[in-house]
A and B are shown apart, each in its own frame.
Chain A
Amino acid sequence: MIAARGGLRLVQRRVAALRRAVVAEVEDMNRLIYHILRGGVVVSVAVLVFGFVLVAMTGRPIPERSIPPRSLGDQLYHFTPEGYLSLGVLILIFTPVVRVLLSLLSFVKEGDRMYVLMTLIVFANLITSLFLLA
């Protein structure tokens, strides 16, 4: 429980830092990317720790297969360890995608057409792989 509370406090601190970053430091892209990447990992770790707390509480074995995204909502609603461990992993996988989107916005703001194009290609590649075998 202490771990869960500590994790929650970490998440709260991250969210607060992220909000400050968005409000005060929009012009500093490096700072914003730092908070997105760092925040993504910290939130992911917090969710994973919560998943392990659920494992300890329910006494169920640690799951060995990832949950398909379709049934994730249901699992989260019923507070299964599988659901929260998979959610933590998914949050981590999506962190770089959010970062690419952020780079896209910054290049659009700078009006740098070459880099907007390049970032779009990278983003399209990521989306392609997302749907390739799904």
Chain B
Amino acid sequence: MSRIAQRFAELKAQHRTALIPFVTAGDPGPATTVPLMHALVQAGADIIELGVPFSDPMADGPVIQRATERALAQGVRLADVLELVRTFREQDTATPVVLMGYLNPIERMGYTAFAERAQAADVDGALIVDVPPEEGHELVTTLKTHGLDLVYLLAPTSTDDRIRRIGSVASGFVYYVSVKGVTGAGHLDTADVAAHLARIRAAVDLPVGVGFGIKDAATAARVAEVADAVIVGSALVERIEALAATPEHIPDSIGSFLASLRTAIDGARVAAL
């Protein structure tokens, strides 16, 4: 069983919803990332999603675009992100880490080289935003051969056929994009999310995380009632941006914000029982 599957199994046994923070690797500088990852775990993160900077992040809103630009300006590339994960693993071998990014840096490194290096760094999975299953056969095969989970997005526009197809290639979990839009978009409608999740669960035998539009403890708690995992990205990255000039404060400050989400999520699940 993969580390991600195991983590979800444990949470399920405890009737808890997973909390998955997203941060961009190397934002605002590479020295911040590993201490921040540890702080996230301390604050209750179950899985960490680490953004791999790319020059043209077409699925991301302004907050994560700017994070990407800060990281790229510091020279943080895919190889550096793998090195950051390896460093994180020196102290934490329990928390699953999923890389989230775009295909081109992986193409340039080569699928096999990437899979080998990710495996060596003890990465658990990857979510490549611009690779639908139609284009991903070789990538999926290569990554799975190296023990990596391939997380896929599902969207409000996904048809039942697409949901089934994605369910058949995804592993670890699937990530439901709760709104039509880019990362950091607003207007999360919990009832609508719940209806879509029912449709997804009927076709996909994997945990379902929900992200995009989770801004605070209240939205996190609402989503926790229906999802297997709450994914929060832009709300964290926005706070990181505000502290970019004093990066030494980032791990503590982001950690306490995440802890408030953890409390809200756990409270919601208890209330729902």
* Real binding pair: no
